[in-house]
Amino acid sequence: MNTTTSIVDVLTHGALAILAYAILGVLLLVAGFYVIDLATPGRLSKIIRTDRNPNATVLAASSVAGVGLVVAASIWSSGGALREGLLATLVFGLVGIAVQTLGMVAFDKVAGISVRELVRETTLQPAAVLLGVTHFFIGLITAVAVI
């Protein structure tokens, strides 16, 4: 009876932990998307869905992927401590979003690549690919720093 109870407890705790991390992860992904939305003229979801803008799509997708890497690394490094892991995931996720935003601003200033101008272009631009890869690797670097 004790063994069954402990297995049920473990499974219940594990399922609740998965749910908590999933909810937090999705919220961080949405937050990352909306930060990119603030950097673009117009509504990013409309630019992607209705206007079918490939540059906006590359930038949004790479930013979300970068945040996802940070979230996954935070969960991985939590070591099973749920409260501490959720807090670390929240903090590191927000740091990842901030670092990506700073990276976007830096590219705008240093390389002269304006996200606002880039998403006005209707065809895929090399600068969008460069920024997309940069967003992804900023996320990866932040994720590895978490681990």
Integer angstrom CA distances of residue 75 from 12, 48, 88: 18, 30, 8
- In the prediction, which pLDDT does 1 show? 47
Residue-number span of the structural domain to which 62 is assigned: 7-146
Query: How confident is the prediction for the chain on average, in pLDDT?
Result: 87
User: Hey, CA dihedral for 36, 133, 65, 84, is it positive or negative?
Assistant: negative
- The two structure tokens encoding residue 22: 């999933």
Residue 85 placed within a domain? yes
d(CA 102, CA 130): 15
For residue range 15-27, list pLDDT tens digits in order. Answer: 888 899 999 999 9
Number of domains in the chain: 1
- In the prediction, which pLDDT does 99 show? 87
Predicted model pTM:
0.81
For residue range 78-129, list pLDDT tens digits in order. Answer: 777 888 889 988 998 898 889 888 887 887 788 888 888 888 899 999 999 9
Residue 1 placed within a domain? no
Query: Which has the closest alpha carbon to 40: 99, 101, 96?
Result: 101
Residue 38: band (very low, low, confident or very high) from pLDDT cuts 50, 70, 90: confident
Average pLDDT over residues 131-140: 90
Residue 129 placed within a domain? yes
Residue 18 placed within a domain? yes
For residue range 2-18, list pLDDT tens digits in order. Answer: 555 688 777 777 888 88
Residue 80 placed within a domain? yes
Residue 125 placed within a domain? yes
Residue 81 placed within a domain? yes
Residue 46 placed within a domain? yes
